[in-house]
Structure 1
């Protein structure tokens, strides 16, 4: 077959053709890849070697150049002061409250503190005491989580350095009121079914820029208080080669139920797909692992347990989700009993109290209703508490009871906290004296519309719009669209002080619930996936056209933002319709995806986006790759393209190659800036104040480019 030569659509040089932006020089190299007899020239492939000094110098030059511009934006200080004012209204940001006996443990981000800490108090009215602070780990660490062991005697507190998402754990003994001295030589994966025993994973390197095949990862067991040299291998490629895939498209992870009546231990084999393979064997045995759920056949996306009963959330022949009951003593998923059938709106992630499953359903990603299942009888009923806001989150906080936190929120409804008991709802709702609900200014100025608008093919796209009531439909308002559209994830309607502040300043905020997300169930996900991925960015552009047609804004005032996999959405929306946008902010975005599977975290994403090894998926990847669609001589919108140097999910060369391509090709006279956060990872920040300053700069950049 004759080779077809497809030249990269951008001819790359180092300098912008517009004199006012003289970008750092970027060389071209003669590099290319050939798949399925199609050759793609890739003159920026040299940027993928993040260990090379020439590459790191290039990133540093881009970073310095970007900072020299955004540090001078006139609106930044004003926006930052507005953020600080709104932040001060909720001085103690308390979240993830959990209880053991009378002891409450929770996160608190205090008003003048830059980072989250873990606190405890003995009883609701007890004195608040510090349990863990990030400086216990080191200078650039942030606490990421805490969890209890199944015997409720220990607390594991994890922290990660500089956005790397490599959890370093410390163990706190509740009765002794002190931390163990144990230092785990690997990544903490949880408690096992034995008292004082934990499981962790080791790999040859923890460098986020280096791919580690799944077969090189080893899981070990550690008994607290003992030398780690005594730790035994629990799971590895050498012990169980049949469980590992050599293409790294799935990864293996063991786990144990926190229900001490469960007599089995488990492992999943999963990827970015919402589904999983599930294996099990008798607890504390060295028996063979038995597969009881298949990713490809059973579409199981969540698990809950009660003793030896397993509740399986599945989308098999039920794209909105159903719940099956599986007896682990005789597991047969094909004949499992359906206890919660599919509804006409999508099911979310299941939570569990002592006697109840809590099942949220959310229409279009923005309107939630909850049901509960009594696991003693499997009776299904409506949540016995009022649901009078967009979202009502029900979270159990005491393993031994049916007590639950109730958090109500919406686009313009700040979080309101109460608690109640699912088994005794007639006792009503109460509030914790240490967890306050607050009121914000500007809320009464706002109006929210929840509508559906026609997409490019006539399919109706949910669109949320937030704006000031007195806004004039004169086409001159700055407007901002945020979306994601991948993995079946929905963009929820939670309260955002950023959105509130910017809407107060006259910005029209739009959230299109585009295909590829989960707002209308799994069918909505499949409608923006691999070969159907173009629907994702076309839905965003349709939403932009709708705002224009209503008179909210016009192209010279219109901006968009998306992050991570949402980089595909933003990158392709603006390369397909550059005339539609004034400004774009792809945050830590997947902006160069054809070679994405060869990045350190790339292969695990092939179930969502595809692989170049499959000819159909290869063509889909070419179509969704923003860098391949940059064309020389086109007038592109202003762009603030961001990356975190420690990002373990979207490697920095992906946004870098796109930024370099646009810097050459663009003839609009608008800036194309690459922001590099050397202390951050996948969109997180060094601390609260650094994060707020970054957000203020982002909004100042958007306003400067949308003629605010």
Structure 2
């Protein structure tokens, strides 16, 4: 399907007709079939920590499923029970059909311009993975450059990042297999489509940056892990390497590393004019960075430190000559824009755009204009400035939603950005500084966005803090009558949960359910204070905010008494596990996806060590006491009736290792937690979420949402 400058809309009546879904407001859950869980062996593991004796009877489930036959057998037994239960659910096929329809659109990304060519990804309906296209010129005919469809039989091998050279003749790209965070890097000749023999292994958490004249590119990697440890061993000794085109990886030069600080990660990028390499170093997930510079034409690529101390957030916008532009929260919790002159004897930062009530989310420079994406009550606003910091206006956006993927250059004359909302998939806009943004690419949609209403409300948390929450439902639906509701939350790592289109969420809405998304503390929606208000010793605020959201939905009669389901992924999976322990009476059902469930051992596996910035250190007493107070695995309550719960994870998740979910589920099933089902769904050849093929997403969410619908009375006819 060719890109169109217009969104094709189908009439509102087609929204309900495409899947034939009937609306139920009864919210009376149907009787669940009896579930007999597999028996899970226990081991005698009790450890003393700070005077507490911690029992961990399911420690053996931490072992890698690919390396331990007993764990593999446990996974098979659990999946058999879960699949048997799911097969009894009405409406699972209806949800799958609805999601197939809702996935039938062009999922777009913003283009990257290089050498007169435009590179961009698009995933059309029916495709498992996004395809990379290229155009010669903005109006040129597109052609497929990389299609991952043939990379694996199950569609679980994905294109996971790419970067064209400055002249657009070469492209380095990353291959992700089975959802793992590990990447293999390859090089493509853009004109011929031929893959070059260069192969780079063990790249992870890496940017890609081309050096001038296509001599090579910069990337980041870890040392090769020991055999059998690739999916569980701690990530340490990250380094930036220079790969010279045509050379073997063994000859790559390590241009930046910190052997005395093996916990640091490093990513490299170049300014648009290719004069400076800017290396950003971090020790965890908190936005506290050091900035190291390398003059590209300097002998031996010597480094110089620009920012030391790991005290503040620093994000390069771009640079020209010796002038670099950054977004920072130094002396500005909601961030500001500064610049520095590297040619000065003692470079200092000069403020261009001061901190305001809105939070800076992203920024780009296009020619002589600075475009800043702000968050205003968890919604995007685009403002423009001259490069001296003078405000020049605000750009019109299609409505309530989020701007993303800002792509522009101080050396270019055009930039791009995307816009989406809960009821509107991504539209790509072009901006050339001389006029208002114009649509560069927009999908033809399988439904009418006007038939779905998006509103925002504010409610009070336990301590009186006002929390924003989006509500999404069919237009004209009377919320005062109560409808089965799915409440989503995250609340951590300074991640802002903004309006976004998800076909699975839309399938829920089409079925007559309400979808709610709460902007909990711990995220970045209101800057540093909002993040700090939900991490470390303040983590309980996140759970209180989510509980208060559920109470609000019931108090306002939006949700009937037994009609509330909750969902969260990763840190959000922790959220679901924690609030299910704390308020099992409030929620009728929950989905905890790839969650961090054992808060006393999270830092012992793969990327877990980075999370101490948000969670604290299990080996420090104050943090230990706090972590133990809410750890989902350790706080399951014997003799208390729990909501229906489905846990989901994947065998190749090397971000949050599946042992978290395995141990939590085993203990939940072994204890007296009521008659409602407590199941785990374990995907094969899938990781933390990225790179998952569309058919697996549809299968997964038709299973899970049918489970939730059964539990809270959403009828699927």
Q: TM-score, normalised by structure 2?
A: 0.87
Please give the per-residue CA displacement for 1:129-161, whole angstroms capped at 9, x wherever unaligned. Answer: 221121565444111122122454321122200
Mapped contact 1:566–1:589 kept (Cα < 8 A): yes
Rate the CA distance shift 1:299–1:686 in 2: closer, same or farther, 3 A: closer
| Counterpart residue number, 1:255 | 268
| Counterpart residue number, 1:211 | 233
Within a 5 Å distance, the mapping from 1:458-469 to structure 2 comes to: 458-469=464-475
- In 1, the alpha carbon distance for the partners of 2:267 and 2:479 equals 56
Please give the per-residue CA displacement for 1:287-333, whole angstroms capped at 9, x wherever unaligned. Answer: 76443323543343555333322222222232111122122234867
2:457 to 451, 455, 466: 451
Mapped contact 1:117–1:132 kept (Cα < 8 A): yes
Mapped contact 2:317–2:325 kept (Cα < 8 A): yes
- In 1, the alpha carbon distance for the partners of 2:447 and 2:542 equals 35
Q: Does 1:504 align with 2:510?
A: yes
Q: Does 1:536 align with 2:542?
A: yes
| Counterpart residue number, 2:243 | 222
Rate the CA distance shift 1:228–1:364 in 2: closer, same or farther, 3 A: same
Q: Does 1:379 align with 2:390?
A: yes
- In 1, the alpha carbon distance for the partners of 2:484 and 2:543 equals 21
1:404 to 400, 415, 428: 415
Residue 99 of structure 1 and its aligned partner are, at CA, apart by 2.6
Mapped contact 2:255–2:301 kept (Cα < 8 A): no
Please give the per-residue CA displacement for 1:69-123, whole angstroms capped at 9, x wherever unaligned. Answer: 22442211111111222233x2x33323223344222212123332211122333
Mapped contact 2:234–2:609 kept (Cα < 8 A): no
- In 1, the alpha carbon distance for the partners of 2:316 and 2:650 equals 30
Please give the per-residue CA displacement for 1:193-239, whole angstroms capped at 9, x wherever unaligned. Answer: 34321234352228543324523x55543211234444334345xxx
| Counterpart residue number, 1:13 | none
Mapped contact 2:371–2:385 kept (Cα < 8 A): yes
1:637 to 633, 643, 653: 643
2:699 to 689, 693, 696: 693
Q: Does 1:199 align with 2:218?
A: yes
SS at match of 2:607: coil
SS at match of 2:111: strand
Which 10-residue stretch deviates more, 185-194 or 553-562?
185-194
Please give the per-residue CA displacement for 1:470-523, whole angstroms capped at 9, x wherever unaligned. Answer: 434566521110010001111111233333332232211111111111122211
Which 10-residue stretch deviates more, 102-111 or 458-467?
102-111
Q: Does 1:557 align with 2:563?
A: yes
Q: Does 1:326 align with 2:347?
A: no
What residue ranges of structure 2 are gaps of 5+ in the alignment? 1-31
Q: TM-score, normalised by structure 1?
A: 0.88
Rate the CA distance shift 1:205–1:35 in 2: closer, same or farther, 3 A: same
Rate the CA distance shift 1:110–1:473 in 2: closer, same or farther, 3 A: closer
Mapped contact 1:462–1:513 kept (Cα < 8 A): yes
Rate the CA distance shift 1:123–1:448 in 2: closer, same or farther, 3 A: same
Runs of 4+ in structure 1 deviating by more than 6 angstroms, as ranges, are none
Residue 382 of structure 1 and its aligned partner are, at CA, apart by 2.5
- In 2, the alpha carbon distance for the partners of 1:391 and 1:674 equals 33
2:54 to 37, 40, 53: 40
1:134 to 148, 159, 179: 148
| Counterpart residue number, 1:183 | 199
Mapped contact 2:522–2:539 kept (Cα < 8 A): yes
1:160 to 159, 165, 176: 176
Residue 705 of structure 1 and its aligned partner are, at CA, apart by 0.7
- In 2, the alpha carbon distance for the partners of 1:706 and 1:675 equals 19
Within a 5 Å distance, the mapping from 1:308-707 to structure 2 comes to: 308-330=322-344, 335-365=348-378, 367-375=379-387, 377-385=388-396, 388-393=399-404, 395-396=406-407, 400-422=411-433, 424-425=434-435, 428-432=436-440, 435-441=441-447, 443-472=449-478, 476-684=482-690, 686-707=692-713
Greater RCO (CA < 8 Å, at least 6 residues apart): 2
Residue 352 of structure 1 and its aligned partner are, at CA, apart by 3.4
Rate the CA distance shift 1:641–1:177 in 2: closer, same or farther, 3 A: closer
SS at match of 1:568: helix
| Counterpart residue number, 1:109 | 123
SS at match of 1:294: strand
Mapped contact 2:48–2:54 kept (Cα < 8 A): yes
What residue ranges of structure 1 are gaps of 5+ in the alignment? 1-17
Mapped contact 1:275–1:301 kept (Cα < 8 A): no
- In 1, the alpha carbon distance for the partners of 2:345 and 2:39 equals 62
Mapped contact 2:239–2:254 kept (Cα < 8 A): yes
Rate the CA distance shift 1:117–1:621 in 2: closer, same or farther, 3 A: same
| Counterpart residue number, 1:6 | none
Residue 534 of structure 1 and its aligned partner are, at CA, apart by 0.5
RMSD: 2.7
Residue 19 of structure 1 and its aligned partner are, at CA, apart by 9.4
